[in-house]
C-alpha cells in the first residue's frame, strides 16, 4: 500500500487550484462540496469556475502562477496542461511540505484525489494511486449501487442519537455492539423505507430497552479453500462483527485480512502431528471467551462440518448454553475440483462421490477399501499427501484398476494452485519426485481425465 488514506477537513480553508479550464472546474466542484474556500490562479478562468469561486468566498487571480499564491493554502491542485507549470507547482509544494495533487501525473503528486461515493456523513473514497483511474471509477459505480442514497440519512440519524447512546452505555465496547446491532436492524430498514419518524421511535426504544450483554456469541464460519472470493456474504458480515478470532492453518492470509482490523487474533492451527492448541482446549476457549461477553469468530478452512471438527466445538457451546451461529463454507473438494476442471460427478463417469479423511492412525488405515474400489464413483481424500502411496496400493489390492486417473491438488484455489495428474500406479512416484506443499487434496476416479479439457483456472 503506497498511499495511506486520510480524510481532510477543508471547511472554510484555502485550497489553491492552478488552472482555469475544465479539469480545474471538476476539482473545484469536489472541493466546494467539502466547504473549501477556493483560490484559482490562471490567465483565463471559465465563467462557471468563477461562479464557484465567488460562492466559496474565495478569489480568482488572472495571472501566471508563482510561489506567493501558496500563502495560507492547505491543499494545492495543479490542473494545467503545461508540464513546466505543473512541475514548478509540485516542486514548490514538496519543498514546503504542502499537500499537492497534479492531475494525471502521479509521479508529481504527494496526495491522490479518490473517486468519491458521497453519502454524507458517510464518505467512501476509492483510489488506484493514480495508476488505473478508470478502474477506481468502476469500483465507485459498484459501491454507488450497493449503498443507496439513504445511507446518508442513516448516518445523520446515528449522529443525532450519539450523545444519548453515550449516556446510556459507559463502556465503549457496549456502545459499539449497540450500534452494530441497531444500524443493520429494524431502524435501518425504516430509514431505507424513508419512514424517518418511525426510525427515530425505534432508535429511542432500542436505547431505553438495551440491557448489558453479559454473554457473548460464537460464529463458526467456514472460510473456504483459500480464495477470498468464495466467502459467503454472511461470513464476511460476521467476520467484521467479531471481537476475537480463532483461526487455523488453512485460513489464507487474504481471508484473514478481511477480519475486523481491531479484532484480537489467536492462532490455533494444526499441522500433522503438531497441534498448536489441543482441540479440547480450543473448544473450552470458545466457551470461556463467550462467557466474558465476547463475540468470537471461529474461522476454519473449508467447511466446518466436513473434517473440520466443528461439531465438537459447538457441542460444548450447546452444553454451556452459549449462543452460536454456523456459516457453511465451500469445502476443499468442491473448490479444488472446480478450479481444476474436475467435476466430482458426471453422467458418463461417476454417479456418486465419497469424501474420506486421508489421515493415517498409527501409521495405517482401516478404511473400507473394498467398497471404495467399485467403479462409477469419485473418491476425494482430505489430508492424504503422506498416506498417498498406501491409499493407492490398497485400492489396487482391493481390485481397482491401476490405471484409474488420480490427481493431487496442492494449495487449491489460491494463486499457488497446482494439479499433479497421474493414475494409481504412477501418481505416488510422481509426487515422491516433486516438491509438493500442503494443504493437498487427492481425487481418484475417471472424472480426473476431464482435467485437460475442462481446466480453466490456469488458462
Instruction: Look up cell 457441542; give the residue.
Output: 315
3-state secondary structure of 298: strand
Q: For 307, left (φ over 0), alpha (ψ -120 to 50), or beta?
A: left
DSSP state at residue 359: P
299 exposed, middle or buried (CB, 10 Å; 0-12, 13-18, 19+)? buried
Q: Find all residues with CB under 8 Å of 332, minimum gap 6, and list them.
A: 225, 301, 302, 382, 412, 439, 441
270 in active site:
yes
Q: Find all residues with CB under 8 Å of 78, minimum gap 6, and list them.
A: 18, 19, 85, 86, 89, 90, 100, 101, 102, 103, 108
Q: Which helix (H) or strand (E) holds 86?
A: helix 83-96
Q: What is the largest CA-CA distance in the chain?
A: 91
Residue numbers in the known binding site are 22-23, 43-44, 225, 301-303, 306, 331-332, 383, 412
Residue numbers in the known binding site for NAD(+) are 22-23, 43-44
3-state secondary structure of 169: coil
288 in active site:
no
**Which candidate in 13, 198, 270, 291 is catalytic?**
270
- Give Cα 401 distance to the centre of its chain: 44
**Residue 40's closest CA among 54, 27, 21, 59?**
59
3-state secondary structure of 386: coil
Distance CA 257, CA 435 (A): 28
DSSP state at residue 306: S
Q: For 232-365, list the strands marked E by DSSP.
A: 244-247, 264-267, 270-271, 274-275, 295-300, 324-327, 352-357
Distance CA 149, CA 58 (A): 30
Q: ∠316-321-327 over CA atoms, to 5°?
A: 65
Cβ contact 247:351 at 8 Å: no
Instruction: Look up cell 489464507; give the residue.
Output: 252
Residue numbers in the known binding site for S-adenosyl-L-methionine are 225, 301-303, 306, 331-332, 383, 412
C-alpha cell at 249: 492453518
3-state secondary structure of 372: helix
**Which candidate in 248, 294, 300, 394 is catalytic?**
248
Q: For 358, left (φ over 0), alpha (ψ -120 to 50), or beta?
A: alpha
Q: Which residues are known catalytic residues?
A: 248, 270
Amino acid at each position: 500500500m503506497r498511499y495511506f488514506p486520510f480524510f481532510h477537513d477543508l471547511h472554510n480553508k484555502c485550497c489553491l487550484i492552478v488552472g482555469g479550464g475544465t479539469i480545474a472546474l471538476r476539482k473545484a466542484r469536489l472541493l466546494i462540496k467539502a466547504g473549501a474556500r477556493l483560490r484559482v490562479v490562471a490567465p483565463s478562468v471559465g465563467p462557471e469556475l468563477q461562479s464557484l469561486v465567488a460562492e466559496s468566498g474565495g478569489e480568482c487571480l488572472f495571472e501566471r502562477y508563482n510561489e506567493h499564491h501558496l500563502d495560507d493554502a492547505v491543499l494545492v491542485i495543479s490542473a494545467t496542461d503545461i508540464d513546466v507549470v505543473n512541475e514548478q507547482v509540485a516542486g514548490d509544494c514538496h519543498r514546503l511540505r504542502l499537500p499537492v495533487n497534479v492531475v494525471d501525473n502521479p509521479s508529481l503528486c504527494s496526495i491522490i484525489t479518490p473517486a468519491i461515493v458521497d453519502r454524507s456523513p458517510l464518505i467512501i473514497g476509492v483510489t488506484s494511486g493514480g495508476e488505473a483511474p478508470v478502474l477506481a471509477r468502476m469500483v465507485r459505480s459498484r459501491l454507488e449501487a450497493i449503498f443507496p442514497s439513504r445511507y446518508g440519512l442513516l448516518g445523520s440519524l446515528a449522529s443525532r442519537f450519539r450523545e444519548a447512546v453515550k449516556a446510556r452505555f459507559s463502556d465503549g465496547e457496549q456502545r459499539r455492539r449497540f450500534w452494530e446491532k441497531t444500524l443493520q436492524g429494524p431502524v435501518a430498514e425504516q430509514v431505507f423505507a424513508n419512514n424517518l419518524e418511525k426510525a427515530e421511535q425505534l432508535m429511542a426504544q432500542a436505547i431505553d430497552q438495551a440491557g448489558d450483554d453479559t454473554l457473548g456469541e460464537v460464529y463458526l464460519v467456514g472460510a473456504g479453500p483459500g480464495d477470498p472470493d468464495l466467502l459467503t456474504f454472511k461470513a464476511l458480515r460476521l467476520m467484521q462483527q467479531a471481537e476475537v478470532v480463532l483461526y487455523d492453518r488453512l485460513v489464507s492470509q487474504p481471508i484473514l485480512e478481511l477480519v475486523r482490523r481491531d479484532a484480537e487474533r489467536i492462532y490455533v492451527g494444526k499441522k500433522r502431528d503438531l497441534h498448536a492448541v489441543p482441540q479440547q482446549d480450543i473448544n473450552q476457549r470458545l466457551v470461556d471467551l463467550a462467557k466474558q461477553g465476547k463475540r468470537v469468530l471461529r474461522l476454519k478452512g473449508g467447511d466446518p462440518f466436513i473434517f473440520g471438527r466443528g461439531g465438537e466445538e459447538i457441542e460444548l457451546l450447546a452444553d454451556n448454553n452459549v449462543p452460536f451461529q454456523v456459516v457453511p463454507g465451500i469445502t476443499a473438494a468442491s473448490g479444488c475440483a472446480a478450479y481444476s476442471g474436475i467435476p466430482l460427478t458426471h453422467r458418463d463417469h461417476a454417479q456418486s462421490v465419497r469424501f474420506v479423511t486421508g489421515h493415517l492412525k498409527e501409521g495405517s488405515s482401516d478404511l473400507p477399501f473394498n467398497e471404495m474400489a467399485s467403479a462409477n464413483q469419485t473418491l476425494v481424500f482430505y489430508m492424504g499427501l503422506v498416506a498417498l502411496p498406501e491409499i493407492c496400493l490398497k485400492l489396487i489390492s482391493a481390485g481397482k484398476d491401476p490405471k484409474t486417473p488420480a490427481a493431487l491438488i496442492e494449495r487449491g484455489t489460491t494463486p499457488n494452485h497446482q494439479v499433479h495428474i497421474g493414475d494409481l500406479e504412477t501418481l505416488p512416484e510422481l509426487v515422491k519426485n516433486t516438491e509438493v506443499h500442503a494443504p493437498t487434496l487427492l481425487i481418484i476416479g475417471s472424472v480426473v481425465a476431464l482435467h485437460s479439457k475442462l481446466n480453466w483456472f490456469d488458462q
